[in-house]
A and B are shown apart, each in its own frame.
Chain A
């Protein structure tokens, strides 16, 4: 765990303790289980977003993709009697294709990622609303998929704690993502391209492929989380479903140490960032803060966190510069002697 991750964890524990002291209901099993479920759902697409942010890109269409693919998924299994396993495969494939299109537009057409994915945000939202004619998509009477529902939205009792399956899904995704980002060759390439695309290219890394792959991974993971979210909400009004989710994802990534310039961030950080965001949501409810202030609280905490981090980074930087000065002045000495001779 990096220093950043540790300080984020400390922040989470402090906020948790304060909330628990003010309102003990925070620690009730039901409340914790529900919050954990939210963390599971939001964590997966936050990791998706982080992958793109690490290569120096941005993905703004996450919320719209969740709405469009959610609508399509429910339509496939409810109205078209598609086997749910096949439907999952089709939806994830659709997510991968969306990522491929975004990545291709960014690299081959050289359109800025902000613009590409902003257009995606508008297009997919519009498509979702048009497809359902703005009606709510959901499970009708008698439509029942017990196995799928249990898998996607069920909870299993673990030592008396009803563990939501979304948390299990997040854990699996996070472990795979952690190995990929922090241990694999491909992960090294992701960070290298994000840090300095030019130098990566000069080292023989096919940076365009790496960038496209990041968007493809992001699309696939977002599709997976779209299915979980659809099964959790069970009804989708395409005009609002998933709106602002891309911003939750970006916020979690930034809290987790990702720089929007690319090349930085850790999976543990992103998961912790998601935990903190969901705790803040929960805190607004529990402390009787008007729910209209929800976003304001989140914004304030993120700003404070980033400012605090900036301060720490600068302090560390100043310290390391001082250290290097010391070293070079020692190293320069023999050189000067040479010149005198």
Chain B
């Protein structure tokens, strides 16, 4: 194998309170396919953003063709021949294929008029279309292409930039099997042409199929590298776990009671052929694990009435209920702490007190008018109870830290009478101290008889906080785990769609 043209040496990146990358080193030689694997939040995306010039590392050296520098700009990255095929494709729906490939670099004619030279654009694209074996034309409108075809457009864009390294971020997550096969052939073709590929994926069999070697990230560190000969799913899973989880678990005061929320064969729009069934019992925290995109958020949205269920039923305390809107869910005592705190959870430039009272404003009124004194009084109580760190409750929510913002979302629901609380990533962007306080609050709530469904991609959280874990894979439950069988290995196995021996109920 020839000399590496790109070297990352001891790259670190830290954000306030979080170390995203911790002395990561990686070298890329021409024509090799590197699989980059690791759990959600292991630092894969940050590392790739460093390569793309979007994120500036806080330490380390990047060497391109031997020239060392401390960071790249986007222009540097393009000049160095680094190209991306994004998870969310960055393409223009309103242009045709050629227009997308040559966006910003359109061949022009007509002198000062700078008209786009369409003929040349199409002619330039023809060899690329051939090379990838595309089944669509250069002038096909992008809007008419399938997701797999759009991915090919992104790859062509990369190749037309003379990319030496193509980074693919979960390229197969929404492809069918035949489309995945074609992509694997294209990867092999690029490799044969001397193009290197970094392949980020959760699907270990794809790694087996196409990678020359695998690099495993965990908590921002490289925890292992496997050569082609050493590659096996078992070896990869072992490396991805590789750390001791701190014990966060606090036992419930009483064994769980009857089922409170029962989801029976629920079908959401994202996975119309898969159905989900699960039930959350009184006084228990049911962790809902799974990879990003496994359909957990969609399930939560449907139960809370944001989206309509395509099929199936929801029961509360054994009674079938219809939830057509968030309001209906709230009236039944089913509350959601959403994943997108800033977009869906809070009004950022409104005060803490007004945010807290919003879902239950009618009970803070006198003669239809809002009684701000009572509103503030309740907000102060919640501030006390949840330890929201703020000088006063009239401060706007946007100026609080992530952890305190999350506590305000929680305070909204705790001011009412929760029966079922659904948390979607309860501690994303929350600092360590506030995290523990939120976990304590979860346990206090279940001890008071609330049923909690906690969606989380944070392994430490799922295993450390839940009383029981349900794992989702591609829109369906792939297994339940009781505390006795909690392990990162078991959760990961189920999350990637494998079964584990002795399947639970």
A positions within 8 Å CB-CB of B: 179, 183-186, 188-189, 191-192, 195-196, 198-206, 263, 320, 324, 328, 331-332, 334-335, 338
Contact = CB atoms under 8 A, between A and B. Distances in A.
Interface of B: 16-17, 304, 306, 325-327, 329-331, 336, 338, 343-350, 354, 358-359, 361-362, 365, 368-370, 389, 399, 401, 412, 431-433
Contact of A203 (B348, B389, B401, B412): B412
Question: Which residue, A185, A199, A206, A331, has most C-beta atoms of chain B within 10 A?
Answer: A199
19 contacts: A183-B369, A183-B370, A184-B369, A184-B370, A188-B354, A189-B361, A192-B347, A196-B343, A198-B344, A199-B347, A200-B358, A202-B345, A203-B359, A203-B412, A204-B330, A331-B389, A332-B17, A335-B431, A338-B432
Given A195-B347, A196-B343, 9 more contacts: A179-B369, A184-B369, A192-B358, A195-B349, A201-B344, A202-B306, A202-B344, A335-B17, A335-B432
Contacts of A199: 343-347
A191 B432 CA distance: 34
Contacts, number: 81
B392 to A, nearest CB: 13
A9 B431 CA distance: 45
Nearest 8 interchain pairs by C-beta: A204-B330, A203-B359, A204-B327, A203-B358, A202-B344, A183-B369, A204-B359, A185-B361
Contacts of A185: 361-362, 365, 368-370
Nearest to A329: B16
A204 B331 CA distance: 9
A185 B363 CA distance: 10
Contact of B338 (A186, A196, A202, A334): A202
Nearest to A195: B347
Given A183-B369, A332-B17, A188 B358 contact: yes
A189 B401 CA distance: 25
A26 B341 CA distance: 54
B345 to A, nearest CB: 6
Contacts of B16: 328, 332
Contacts of A331: 389, 401
Contacts of A335: 17, 431-433
Contacts of A204: 325-327, 329-331, 359
B401 A328 contact: yes
B401 A188 contact: no
Contacts of A179: 369
Contacts of B304: 202
Contacts of A195: 347, 349-350
B401 A202 contact: no
B417 to A, nearest CB: 13
Nearest to A206: B327
Nearest to B416: A204
